[in-house]
Amino acid sequence: MRLKIVTVGEPVLRDVAAKVSKKQLRHPDTQNLIAYMRETMRDAPGVGLAAPQIGISLQIAVIEDKAEYHKGVSAAEMRERERRPVRFHVIVNPVLELLSEPHTEFYEGCLSLPGFTAIVPRARTVRVSCLDHKGEPRVIGAFGWYARILQHEIDHLNGTLYIDKMKSRSFCSLDNYYRCWKRKQSDVAKQPA
């Protein structure tokens, strides 16, 4: 079942989501929710989806960066972004630790802000302590694009959108990004207003 993705302006996107107990996580309703979130993320398509994005204020996010999503990305861009495939997994009640300063800047989009993108500074390396879909503790060490995805989804669970952290001069429609910025140096967009 594909769920409706809520867009910017919905109050649920600005709330800190509720923690999920192990008992609640193991309940069939929550397991079904995770399966529906996976299907919704893949259908969009996206590389991550947090429960608040479907109108549910719970600390659950699904993540997957399939190799097939990399088909239109050059080898140079893959290296620059340190992007590699990431298998599907679930993070519940995550605690994020930045292991580097948020100086890595790339354009980022969001399923809750369809049609737009902006440069967002993120930490290159992170550690995330969380529960997996079975309620088992997990520690994830990530770098590059995977670290960016984790930071983006955990922001959603804390009521933060990428527009809160973006370089405001870089904000543009996806059409204009592909037309004007994708193949150019983005130094002008990164400059402060």
Q: In this structure, how many other beta carbons lie within 10 angstroms of the beta carbon of residue 152?
A: 23
Q: Which of 64, 108, 136, 153 is catalytic?
A: 153
In the annotation, is 153 catalytic?
yes
CA distance linking residue 125 with residue 145, whole number of Å: 9
Q: Which DSSP string corresponds to 163-183?
A: GGTS-GGG-EEHHHIIIIITT
Q: In this structure, how many other beta carbons lie within 10 angstroms of the beta carbon of residue 192?
A: 6
Cα 101–chain centre separation: 18
Kindly list the catalytic residues.
Answer: 153
